[in-house]
Structures are given as C-alpha cells and as structure tokens.
Amino acid sequence: MSYEKVLKAHKFVIGTKQTVKALREGNVQELLVATDAESRLTAKVVEEANLRQIPIQYVDSMKKLGKTCGIDVGAAAVAIIR
C-alpha cells in the first residue's frame, strides 16, 4: 500500500542524506522508512520528520522500496515531495 504512494508520486527523494536535506528545506509531504534498515541509518530521518510533524509510513523491505523507486539497490528512506 505505501509502495503505491511512491509510484503515484510525481517527485520523490531517495536516501537518508537527501531525505534529511529535503525535510530541513520543508519540502516533504510524507516519509517512507524501511523497517529492515539499520536504525542508525534511519534515526536522523525519523527524528527530523517528527520535529516537523511529517507523517511517517513504514514499509517492510529496503530492497522493495528501492525497486519501487526504480533503483537497483535498497533504499532505507524515501521522501515524497510536495
């Protein structure tokens, strides 16, 4: 279900560093975080989203999230941009 949001999104950012940057710029509508990603990778993204009251959806697989975004590697976090 959350994977479909990425497919329908016109613009999104992949990866924790780019997602944190987008959150700080105030461009994020919603955040997707893979539950199988290491918490040390996703902690900063989740913290930034919570500070800015951005909704967070959790998905079960980094690999599936990356594939949904059209990349050949896993994605720990994806931000859907406004």
- Could you tell me the pLDDT band of residue 6, with boundaries at 50, 70 and 90? confident
- Segment 48-58, tens digit of pLDDT: 999 999 999 99
Distance between CA atoms of 73 and 82, rounded to whole angstroms?
25
For residue 59, is pLDDT > 90? Answer: yes
Provide φ and ψ at 50, rounded to 5°. Answer: -65, -40
Domain that holds residue 16: 2-81
The predicted structure's pLDDT at residue 1: 52
What's this model's pTM, rounded to 2 decimal places? 0.90
Q: The domain that contains 18 carries what CATH number? A: 3.30.1330.30
44 burial level (CB within 10 Å; 0-12, 13-18, 19+): middle
Count of domains for the chain: 1
- Segment 9-51, tens digit of pLDDT: 889 999 999 999 999 999 999 999 999 999 999 999 999 999 9
